[in-house]
Homo-oligomer: A and B are copies of this chain.
Amino acid sequence: MRRNTWQRDAVKAALEAQDAFVSAQQLHAVLRDEGTGVGLATVYRALADLAAGGGADSLQSAEGEALYRACTPGQHHHHLICRNCGVTVEIEADPVEQWAKAVAAANGFTRPEHVVDVFGLCPACSAAVS
């Protein structure tokens, strides 16, 4: 039986308040600063549950850290991520879906899945660098 706890809600709310990918550690720090004494282990568990349930997307940063972001559930999509500030935009990638399937089939691979993420500099960060 799954129980609803204020800790899980707090993690979910904190995640949805972010518009960028954040690590479990960062989210834990945010919750600590807000005064909500949610344990680190609980943050990890809540994020894992969210990701498993489709309420969040996860990816590995270049440093090997696991990052999470709230996402629109039930819909397959990918991300356009600013490598400077982390701002993230959900994007559709129908052409890529087709291409991935075709390439997998052409090589005899079955049950294809794919990891597709685009990194760049968002408009604000582009301006800041130039």
Contact = CB atoms under 8 A, between A and B. Distances in A.
A116 to B, nearest CB: 5
A29 interface: no
A115 to B, nearest CB: 5
A89 interface: yes
Contact of A107 (B89, B110, B113): B89
Contact of A115 (B99, B103, B111, B116): B116
A74 interface: no
B126 A120 contact: no
B123 A109 contact: yes
Nearest to A89: B107
Contacts of A119: 112-115
B113 A116 contact: no
A60 interface: yes
Interface in A95-130: 95-96, 99-100, 103-104, 107-123, 126
Given A64-B60, A117-B115, A122 B99 contact: no
